[in-house]
Amino acid sequence: MLITTPFPVPARGTDLVPLFQPQAPVETLQFTLPDGTLVTRFGNRGVGRHGRERGEEWNEVGNGPNETVDATGHPVDRGSGAALAFVPNSFRHRTWGLEIIDDSRVAGVTRPTLKVNTYNPTVDFLPGGTAFFRAFDRVGVTAYGWMNNGELLDPTGTICRPVDYPANGQPGPDHCTVVIKDYPDHAGLGADGFPDGTRVNARPLRIGDPIEVAPSMSTTTPSMQSAGDSGGLRYVAGEWLYVVGQGLTPWYGVQPRLNSAPLPASTLSGGLGSVSYNYSDEGLRMFQQPVNHIGMQNMQRFVEGRRTAHSSVVTGEHLEPGNEPMAAIAGLAGARFNATTCVQCHANNGRSPAPFMVDQRVDGMAFHVGVKDADGAIRPDPRYGSAIQMHVASASGKVLDGGTGSR
């Protein structure tokens, strides 16, 4: 068998030099310290509402309004919610990071604790914003609600100052730290999933305990003003599920009362990066979401990338209202183009739809053309070049034909 290579083969006995040197990761999402402490980090972004909201109110029969059915019990769809939407200027001061330090696997620890640090490198924020443990024992709490806000490590602190994200693979500083010491006490539930009049006492955390984490961040008016930002001061994030001794996992609701539980591994098409179950009926936004366990720094990169995808390379204007224009990409469109923003072709960050009817414009996808010369070679079409691009700009103002049939 003959094997060929386009590169010279080093002589026997010489060191092989790789073409590309391995690069250190930008940030490690989870690592274990020498004593067994588990450190998990993830990024958060401001969203429209909490992730369980579905665009309508719902409760079990006899326990409050239920707008998902009419008076006869037939289903009612009031449309999608806003749990996965992007707040205006999501790329400015509206992302932050959480670090969960878990000692449940440290030798000799009999009462595990979670130490939760919050980091934001750009603006002040208030301590204690994150909530824990879904309130599954409260009748009427079917969208959101939690049992515990944790215990502030420093109860005297009133403002959390900006701080850089911790170094990759190294423990971060205690910052606006909340400590979770127990699984909280709650009402006992009967076989029907409703409180049965008993009480379940608080107990130590155990490896395998699922804890719904509901991050939020409240900044301050002076801090935002000093940053030149006139936006809102409080931002909630979607809900995450943290499993003691394991880390983050995508979740869905199970009985009783849709309490949070890890999604079965068989459903995780994207592994642990798979998004959680969508209770807000927002299928149109699913391809716009970051992976479930995105890092602190990468969350900011993600929203900046989304800003680029939604901004015009002609004017810099963002397609969604309330967002600042992106001057850095204004005027970057070439002489021929199909669309002025990425998402005008990649609808909802998905694939560009192919034409499906006669005379439909092909401005949502690449359409390559050419001519075959007498020598058999394929060369650019004399009229369109190598691709049909429906919009053509001329420096002279002359109307050109990019595939529309006009000249």
DSSP 119-148: E-SSS-B-S---EEEE-TTSTT--S--EEE
- 223: Cα separation from own chain's centroid: 25
Q: Is 150 helix (H, G, I), strand (E, B) or coil?
A: coil
Tokens of 190: 């009967």
Report the DSSP beta bridge partners of residue 240. 213
- Give the C-alpha separation, 272 to 264, whole Å: 11
pLDDT at residue 395, as a whole number: 61
Q: Is the dihedral of CA 250, 44, 48, 346 positive or negative?
A: negative
Tokens of 235: 């931002």
Q: Is 169 helix (H, G, I), strand (E, B) or coil?
A: coil
Instruction: Please give the full DSSP string across 254-313, using - where no structure is assigned.
Output: ETTTTEEEEPPGGG-TTGGGSPPP-TT--GGGGGGSPPTT--HHHHHHHHHHHHHHTB-T
- Tokens 């994207």 correspond to 270
252-279 CB burial, b ≥16 within 10 A, e <16: bbeeebbbbbbbeeeebeeebebbbbbb
Tokens of 225: 């003003």
pLDDT at residue 11, as a whole number: 56
Range list of H helices, 68-128: none
Backbone phi and psi for residue 337, each to the nearest 5 degrees, phi listed first? -160, 160
- Give the C-alpha separation, 130 to 124, whole Å: 15
Nearest to 125 by CA among 91, 93, 156: 93
- Tens-of-pLDDT digits for all 407 residues of the chain? 344 444 455 555 556 666 677 788 888 999 999 999 999 999 999 987 777 776 677 787 778 888 888 888 898 888 888 888 899 999 999 999 999 999 999 999 999 999 999 999 999 999 998 999 999 898 877 777 889 989 999 999 899 999 999 999 888 899 999 999 999 999 999 988 889 999 999 999 999 999 999 999 999 999 999 999 999 999 999 899 999 999 999 999 887 778 889 999 999 999 999 999 988 888 888 888 999 999 999 999 999 999 999 999 999 999 999 999 999 999 998 777 888 899 988 887 777 878 888 887 777 777 888 999 999 999 998 887 888 877 776 666 666 666 665 44
Which H or E run contains 225?
A: helix 221-226
pLDDT at residue 10, as a whole number: 53
pLDDT at residue 407, as a whole number: 41
Tokens of 159: 């403002």
Domain chopping of the chain, boundaries: 30-307, 333-407
- Tokens 């391995």 correspond to 22
Q: Helices then strands (H, E): number in the chain? A: 2, 25
Identity of the residue numbered 90? S
Kindly report the length of the chain.
407
Residue 197 is given by DSSP the state E
Peptide bond into 256 cis (omega under 30): yes
pLDDT at residue 403, as a whole number: 65
Exposed/middle/buried for residue 387 (C-beta within 10 Å: 0-12, 13-18, 19+): middle
- Give the C-alpha separation, 307 to 324, whole Å: 10
Report the DSSP beta bridge partners of residue 117. 99
Q: Is 327 helix (H, G, I), strand (E, B) or coil?
A: helix
Q: Please state whether beta strands 240-243 and 210-214 pair in parallel, antiparallel, or not at all (unpaired).
A: antiparallel
pLDDT at residue 228, as a whole number: 93
